[in-house]
Each structure stands twice: as structure tokens, then as C-alpha cells.
């Protein structure tokens, strides 16, 4: 266990150096967007990023607001499942905004997303840790999955790593898609499960 602890304690997370993504506000408040880009952002963009300072000119990280425009993702998801719903849905935009200078001004927030220690910092050290983690997979019945166990730190890889670990402890592959099964088989090799 000493080696496993050393590996896991060596993982650094993005919130250790940048707190911007620690907390996101879920909402439909379009007033946070400039009027001149509102129509374009809410119809065809997946993110809107705004800088609140020029600190980057002085060698500091800029203060940013990153708004994920979830409502622009809906049509492609619906179409992928053969659903011909209106692109407008119920007509409201759906956002998750991070790094807002004043989150309390959001009208009618729906909730929040908390991301502490969710995203490891992608670095050569992290990639080495990921590759070494496969050497301890399954030791004493313990398996690792999620963003810290995959080399790409993506949502899809994190989900697939969970499926790979579930299969390692006896679950059946849950889909009828040979191409996806082939991708998962490659990930299982990388994970060491």
C-alpha cells in the first residue's frame, strides 16, 4: 500500500492552482452575456469565456468567467437518439457559469456544481502516474477509475474507466456496439484491468 499511496498523493489537481472551476452556478440567466453576442452564443456556442482583468499582461493568471452553454448541446444529443425535438426545447438557455465575479447577481439559479479535486493537472508526471497506477490495479481487491486513472482526464474516459473496472469485478459489457467495445478493450489495457 505504501507505493499506491505515494502514487495517489503525487496527483495534483487543477483547483490547487486555480480556483475558477471549484464552483459553478446552474442557471438560465442570459443577462450575463453581452447583448451583441447573445443570439450567437445561445444558438451555436458550447462555451463563452470572458476575461475580467488584464493581469495576464503582468505575468499573472487572468480572472476569467467560463460559461458552458448546455442548451446548444441538446439538439445533437436528441438527434443521436432519433428524437426530432425542437432545438429551442422550452425556449430557455441552460448554462453552468464558473468564475463569476459576483455569482449572487444570477437570477433564479437552479443549483451549483462543485468540482474540487475533479480534474488532475495534465502533465508529464500525471501521465507517468497514470501508467504506473495500472501496476496496482486489483491489488487486495481495490481498483481505480475516474479522471485520475485515465491518461486523458476526459468525461468520456472517466465514464469508460468505471465501466472497465465494473467489468474487472464481474459486470457484463452493457452495450451492443462492437466499435465502442473495441475502444473499451484498449482502455482496459491502459488501465491494467
Within a 10 A sphere around the Cβ of 62, how many other Cβ atoms?
15
Say whether pTM exceeds 0.85: no
C-alpha cell at 76: 445533437
Nearest Cα to 65, choosing from 94, 96, 43? 96
Q: Residue 125 contacts by C-beta under 8 Å, 6 or more apart in sequence?
A: 10, 12
Nearest Cα to 67, choosing from 34, 91, 36, 90? 34
- If 0-12 CB within 10 Å is exposed, 13-18 middle and 19+ buried, where does residue 152 land? middle
Phi, psi (5° rounding) for residue 111?
175, -160
Q: What mean pLDDT, rounded, does the chain reach?
A: 79
Q: Is the pLDDT of residue 137 over 80?
A: yes
169 pLDDT tier (thresholds 50, 70, 90): very high
Amino acid at each position: 500500500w505504501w507505493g499506491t499511496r505515494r502514487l495517489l498523493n503525487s496527483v495534483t489537481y487543477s483547483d490547487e492552482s486555480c480556483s475558477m472551476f471549484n464552483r459553478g452556478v446552474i442557471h438560465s440567466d442570459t443577462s450575463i452575456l453581452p447583448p451583441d453576442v447573445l443570439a450567437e452564443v445561445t444558438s451555436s456556442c458550447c462555451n463563452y469565456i470572458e476575461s475580467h482583468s488584464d493581469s495576464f499582461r503582468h505575468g499573472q493568471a487572468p480572472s476569467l468567467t467560463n460559461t458552458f452553454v448546455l442548451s446548444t448541446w441538446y439538439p445533437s444529443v436528441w438527434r443521436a437518439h432519433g428524437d426530432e425535438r425542437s432545438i429551442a426545447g422550452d425556449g430557455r438557455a441552460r448554462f453552468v457559469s464558473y468564475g463569476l465575479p459576483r455569482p449572487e447577481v444570477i437570477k433564479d439559479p437552479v443549483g451549483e456544481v462543485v468540482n474540487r479535486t475533479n480534474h488532475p493537472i495534465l502533465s508529464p508526471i500525471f501521465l507517468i502516474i497514470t501508467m504506473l497506477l495500472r501496476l496496482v490495479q486489483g491489488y487486495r481487491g481495490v481498483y481505480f477509475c475516474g479522471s485520475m486513472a485515465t491518461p486523458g482526464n476526459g468525461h468520456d474516459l472517466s465514464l469508460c474507466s468505471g465501466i472497465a473496472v465494473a467489468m474487472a469485478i464481474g459486470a457484463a459489457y452493457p452495450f451492443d456496439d462492437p466499435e465502442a467495445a473495441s475502444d473499451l478493450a484498449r482502455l482496459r489495457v491502459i488501465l491494467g484491468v
